[in-house]
A and B are shown apart, each in its own frame.
Chain A
Amino acid sequence: MTQGQTIGITRAQEFPFEASVCPKFSRMPLHTPGFGSVFVDRTKPDARSLGITWGAVGSAGTTATGSKDITMTGLNRRSLLKTGAAAVAASSLGAPLIAQSRSLKIGSYGGYFENSFKEHVYPLFTEATGIEVESVTQPNSTDWLVTMQQATAAGNVPADLSLYARDTLIKASRIGGLLAPLDLTKMPATSNLDGYFVFEASEGPLGVGAMSWFTAMVINPGEVEAPESWAEFWDNSTYDQSLGLSRNYNSQFLDIIAATFFEGEATFATEDGILALIEKAAEIKPNVALWWSAESQMEQSMKNGDVIGGQYYLDVANLMMADGFPIQPIFPKEGNPQDYGSWCLSAISDKTDEAAEFINFSSDPATQALMSRKIGTAPLVDKSKTDLTDEEFTFVSGTPSIKPAYEAYLDKETFIKESWDKMLAGA
């Protein structure tokens, strides 16, 4: 039995749970909530309580500042004494105890992905801040949103910070009441990120980029020459019944078509534009041997030679190539779609400060580089800010990048889905 077969069986067992075992699959798009007025107090903490919180966990100096604020508002002697005693307690004996009790529940996509976070990222964060991390398994973005929606209604959420793909994040903000706005001033390192990776809703920033990933063009280098453009996949003489593309309407194949044959994201503005994209997709149907819905299907088909090209996740493709399988990821001249996940704070979480510290830590170029090396995600900061080598960088990223038309997918959700399904079904 070949290596491919062995892995095939393993994958077989995993299949129904693809979302939990394949981090990438879980990154497929999803929904999102906003937040309600109820939570506004939490998002704009009172200066005094803030002072105390920070004082308790920070240095004695900070504590003193916090106490000063309080004494200014409560002028009598008794409260001054009480506050002073509290400050002393907090700065001496209390501080280490309180610091140890700080914790944060962070969600991430189960399997390899979550394990990598637990092994490489969370321990460094705990070391740097003293905040313990409790890792929470998310099946993916989209199904997790449903869980969080119900949990929020029930008043007890399983995670403070969740990882949502951008479309899930937008969906969450539209549903409303699910996410708390973030205070970027408490996360100075977020200034390293391109503004695109901070999602601003009317109520404020709801998500800060965590990491990103590419869906790349892949080919079997033993069977075909590397194409220069996505357009070559439409060539029936080479690719008849040979490609593996994603079956989901919102898995960015339409964005690839828009970038290759039309005006990019602008084409999504009208229904006619979208129909033109879908018509172009219909032309590639004879060349598609596999419309995959789970990442493992495409992996298996590339290994088995059932398909010789298609769209697949860049980092996994690189890992497979490193293992000697016949696959090669390519950046054609139009580029590859880039999607990203964001850290989002639950609207009913009371760990605002801890969450801020984690997001700040995650946005640090050193952490971004660490995730690229250990998890295979593309950094959200400029390469020059990191110490990634060219080789390490091309393993997880590339140019140009195609930005998906997230808003259009949500605004015209039913229309795009039904038109796409009709195209696939030939109905």
Chain B
Amino acid sequence: MTVAESLSEVAEETTASHRASFRWQTVLPWALAAVIIVLCLVPFFLVIAISFGRKIEGAAWVWDFTFENYQRFFVGTLWPDEVTFLYLQQLGYSFWYAVIASLLAVMTALPFTLLLTRLSRKAQAAWLVFILSSLSLSEVFIVMGWDILLSNNSGLPALFKSTGLTQWLKDMGWFQVLRDWGLANPRNVKFKTSEFATILTMSYLVWPYAVILLYPALSRMDPSLSEAARTMGASTSQVIRTVILPSVRLPLVGTSLLLFVFLLGTYVAVTVFADPAKHTTAVAIYTNIRGANLNAPFGATQAVILLVSASICLTLGHMLNRWAEAR
């Protein structure tokens, strides 16, 4: 074998291995794309396709192409004889709970995280590990924990009663006010079912996320900025308003939007703590798809509308952010 021959052989081998790795590189993205299509897009389009299906009374549903479900969402099934905004109301409550609970979580997590970043490294690590581990508790656990905390015989109402607070409220005449607000029965205060319990639990649910999302931004914040402001005579509230908040505005807005989207789909907390009059679209979707009703098309319609509304909100939030940025 001549040198030239062996050289050309080496060259061929190199090209072959090149070719092989080249093929591997082309195939991988396609394989990943296929996985994404099968696992994400197909179910997604399936939901959209099912939302045009038709329910057969007293039985299941069939494939079809009808806009009846969408019409029902906005005006009810009896339209045009009768109009109901039941489903819009549920959508409204979905947004209401998610907005209030995510804002509440961010607003309380912000000062906490700020104080956290001022602790020693060791203390910070301990807190973060604790908060991260609390994420392993499922929604169900958290809801049931609060359920017990707010229960008549074992929770807050029992405390009210045993400390005489209930009697005091009755003597002062404020008990009637609580009853008017739906926070008391003739015997004692009660916190379930109420918007108070629903929003409280939902905030609690996402609070660790808020801390973890805000922590990187706040820990990177240069303390000398606030210190400089203080030496120039700014009060604490002025420092917070003019130095800290503006410098973390982006992570604040981002965190709120993320938690908001996360909370739109809350199911257990709403089922347990909210009055049926104030149930959300997520709960309605489940009751429709469940066997008791077998109306998957209408459930899918509600899911699609919830998704579209959430997307609109996110887009608006994004635009608002860009507008503020540009200003």
* Chain A residues touching B, range: 35 or more
**CB within 8 Å of A: which B98-153 residues:** 140-141, 143-145, 147-148, 151-153
**Do A13 and B58 contact each other (CB < 8 Å), given the known contacts A418-B84, A424-B277?**
no
Query: Is residue B317 contacting chain A, with contact meaning CB distance below 8 A?
Result: no
**Across the interface, do B90 and A412 meet the contact criterion of CB distance under 8 Å?**
no
For B290, what are the chain A residues with a Cβ–Cβ distance below 8 Å? 142-143
**CB within 8 Å of A: which B139-195 residues:** 140-141, 143-145, 147-148, 151-155, 179, 182, 184-187, 190, 192-193
B85 to chain A, nearest CB (A): 6
**CB within 8 Å of B: which A333-373 residues:** none
Query: Is residue A159 contacting chain B, with contact meaning CB distance below 8 A?
Result: no
Choice from B55, B85, B293 contacting A427 with Cβ under 8 Å = B85
Choice from A11, A306, A421 contacting B192 with Cβ under 8 Å = A306
Choice from A5, A30, A412 contacting B57 with Cβ under 8 Å = A412
Interface centre among A8, A15, A149, A301 (most CB of B within 10 A): A15
Stretch at the interface among A169-177, A208-216, A388-396: A169-177
**Across the interface, do B58 and A411 meet the contact criterion of CB distance under 8 Å?**
yes
**Across the interface, do A411 and B152 meet the contact criterion of CB distance under 8 Å?**
no
A297 to B295, CA, bound (A): 25
For B294, what are the chain A residues with a Cβ–Cβ distance below 8 Å? 31, 142, 145-146, 171
Choice from B84, B141, B179, B284 contacting A13 with Cβ under 8 Å = B141
Contact with B along A397-426 (1 / 0, CB 8 A): 000000000000011111101100110111
How many chain-B residues does the 8 Å CB contact rule pick out? 51
Choice from B152, B182, B272, B291 contacting A146 with Cβ under 8 Å = B291
| Chain A residue, CB-CB nearest to B276 | A424
Query: Is residue A2 contacting chain B, with contact meaning CB distance below 8 A?
Result: yes
**Do A4 and B153 contact each other (CB < 8 Å), given the known contacts A12-B144, A142-B292, A250-B292?**
yes
Choice from A5, A174, A418 contacting B86 with Cβ under 8 Å = A418
| Chain A residue, CB-CB nearest to B296 | A146
A220 to chain B, nearest CB (A): 11
Query: Is residue B59 contacting chain A, with contact meaning CB distance below 8 A?
Result: yes
A171 to B84, CA, bound (A): 28
A149 to B56, CA, bound (A): 15
Query: Is residue A324 contacting chain B, with contact meaning CB distance below 8 A?
Result: no
Choice from B76, B84, B291 contacting A140 with Cβ under 8 Å = B291
Query: Is residue A126 contacting chain B, with contact meaning CB distance below 8 A?
Result: no
For A297, what are the chain B residues with a Cβ–Cβ distance below 8 Å? 272
For A242, what are the chain B residues with a Cβ–Cβ distance below 8 Å? 185-187
**Do A5 and B185 contact each other (CB < 8 Å), given the known contacts A31-B60, A141-B291?**
no
Stretch at the interface among A37-45, A252-260, A286-294: A286-294
For B192, what are the chain A residues with a Cβ–Cβ distance below 8 Å? 289-290, 306
**Across the interface, do B185 and A8 meet the contact criterion of CB distance under 8 Å?**
no
**Across the interface, do A240 and B58 meet the contact criterion of CB distance under 8 Å?**
no
**Across the interface, do B144 and A8 meet the contact criterion of CB distance under 8 Å?**
yes
**Across the interface, do A144 and B291 meet the contact criterion of CB distance under 8 Å?**
yes
For B77, what are the chain A residues with a Cβ–Cβ distance below 8 Å? 414-415, 418
Choice from B140, B182, B277 contacting A426 with Cβ under 8 Å = B277
A9 to B143, CA, bound (A): 11
A418 to B69, CA, bound (A): 13
Query: Is residue A241 contacting chain B, with contact meaning CB distance below 8 A?
Result: yes
For B247, what are the chain A residues with a Cβ–Cβ distance below 8 Å? none
A393 to B56, CA, bound (A): 40
Choice from B179, B275, B291 contacting A31 with Cβ under 8 Å = B291
| Chain A residue, CB-CB nearest to B267 | A16
**Across the interface, do A413 and B58 meet the contact criterion of CB distance under 8 Å?**
yes
Query: Is residue A304 contacting chain B, with contact meaning CB distance below 8 A?
Result: yes
**Across the interface, do B144 and A413 meet the contact criterion of CB distance under 8 Å?**
no
A241 to B188, CA, bound (A): 10
| Chain B residue, CB-CB nearest to A300 | B147
Interface centre among B55, B77, B141, B294 (most CB of A within 10 A): B294
Task: Tell me the A residues contacting B by CB distance below 8 Å.
Answer: 1-2, 4-5, 8-9, 11-13, 15-16, 28-32, 140-146, 149, 168, 170-171, 174-175, 223, 237, 240-242, 247-248, 250, 289-291, 293-294, 297, 300-301, 303-306, 410-415, 417-418, 421-422, 424-427
**5 extra interface residue pairs, beta carbon distance < 8 Å, beyond A4-B153, A304-B154:** A12-B144, A289-B185, A297-B272, A425-B89, A427-B86
Q: Can you list 27 A-B pairs, Cβ within 8 angstroms, ordered by A?
A: A4-B153, A4-B154, A12-B140, A15-B143, A15-B268, A30-B292, A31-B59, A31-B60, A141-B291, A146-B294, A174-B56, A223-B187, A241-B184, A242-B187, A289-B185, A289-B190, A290-B192, A291-B276, A297-B272, A301-B151, A305-B152, A413-B57, A415-B77, A418-B78, A425-B86, A425-B89, A425-B279
> Top 5 closest A-B pairs, CB basis?
A142-B291, A12-B144, A410-B58, A241-B185, A424-B276
